[in-house]
Amino acid sequence: MVLFSLYREHVLEVSSLVFGPDPIQCTPMHLEEQITSTSAQDLWNKPAKSASGDKSWRRRTVYAIFGKRVLDISLVVLMLPIIAILLIIMLPIVIRDNGPFIYRHPRVGRTGKMFDCLKVRTMRTDSAEQLAKLLQSDPEAAREWAETQKLRKDPRITRAGQIFRKTSLDELPQLWNVLRGEMSLIGPRPVTLEEIERYGDARKDYISVRPGITGLWQIASSRYEMTYDERVAVDASYAKSVSFIGDMRIFWGTVIWAMKPNGI
């Protein structure tokens, strides 16, 4: 199969094909977008890169291939009545400032396919402007943001949003993403297209699974001290070792963290 990559989104789609059993040939438009670097050959007077199919998919467990998806759907369906009640309670609290209830943001999913990740809005409607001003006026905050893409003391978050985040209630709408097959209950953090470019070789591991509502990083006691590269390593580690026992540990670890005073 011959594929031509033009944009970053296409590069992700091309790289996902490496998981299949068949060899592929890719003719990148830009050198920096080459997915593999094995043997080169002349194809239609353009340099092409050949890549052998990744046979590691054959070693994946039955749980990783089928069971995980069945578990996701079963648990979400069981939780639907409680979820509906909680969302109804949260609705008037969130829309006090006349902003939208649900926040949508593009994220990179399994095989590199983009999807709209859903959350209850926890930030002020002018959050983008507030962040820009903060990073310009506070060097320490700018350094923290550059290293982790997060802020310990984030002025953009509303009072209600702080509660929702500590209890992870803001992530309830992502259960719809799970039902649609875009996410899993447990998996790597959903990341943006800009972030995935920082994953390097780990990008291949990340797009081999569905991103999750919770995961290894969320239950790590030192997650706020982790550098971005360490977070990437955690995501890659999970993707390489998906198992039922591992997912149950993360699930109950998330429940325990959510019950703590400081939340997760």
CA distance 35 to 30: 11
Which residues, 6+ apart, have CB-to-CB distance to 93 below 8 Å? 160
List the chain pLDDT tens, one digit each, 264 residues: 545 444 555 555 555 555 554 555 555 554 344 444 444 454 445 555 555 555 555 557 889 889 999 999 999 999 888 888 888 888 887 777 777 888 899 999 999 999 999 998 888 878 888 888 888 888 888 888 877 777 878 888 888 888 888 878 888 999 999 999 999 999 999 999 988 888 888 999 999 999 999 998 888 766 667 888 888 999 999 999 999 999 999 999 888 887 776 655
Domain boundaries, the chain: 2-57, 60-122+157-259
Neighbours of 97 (CB within 10 A): 11
Q: What's this model's pTM, rounded to 2 decimal places?
A: 0.72
